[in-house]
Structure 1
Amino acid sequence: MGIFKMFTVLGEILIVLLLVLINGVFAMCEIAIVSSRKARLQQLANTGNQKAHTALELANTPNRFLLLTQPKTT
């Protein structure tokens, strides 16, 4: 049973590390959207860049975006 317990503890550590990594990705996305330059996003959206248009929508309504990311980061 000793080796089984070791693998269980190792598995738990890996799960925690994976969750911390996922949390970091959500935090990076949140910071990138909130701190982005809206004038540049608007310029890119006007040229037809769909990703810039989506980012601009999220930047203009941060409450909606934060509602999606905050529960995942806490």
Structure 2
Amino acid sequence: MAYYDLEEQETVIIYESATKLFDIYTTVPKHIKRLKNVAIATLIQDEKDSEGICITYHIKVEKLPNSYVFNR
């Protein structure tokens, strides 16, 4: 398995009012790399392909940095 096809790649950010946490799920390689650097994140799930490359990433964080922009 490799990265998901471009048509299947997505990043979903949901704010949970009850817990006051952002739930972030992504299959976009660029976003996975950036999110892995979020030290305050709680890892929910990650999936790796047969070569050990992370192809999905699911975390929860208390807040997103003000300057956090995915598509630079």
Query: What TM-score do you get using the length of structure 2 for normalisation?
Result: 0.22
Which has the higher Rg, Structure 1 or Structure 2?
A: 1
Structure ranking higher in strand proportion: 2
Query: What TM-score do you get using the length of structure 1 for normalisation?
Result: 0.22
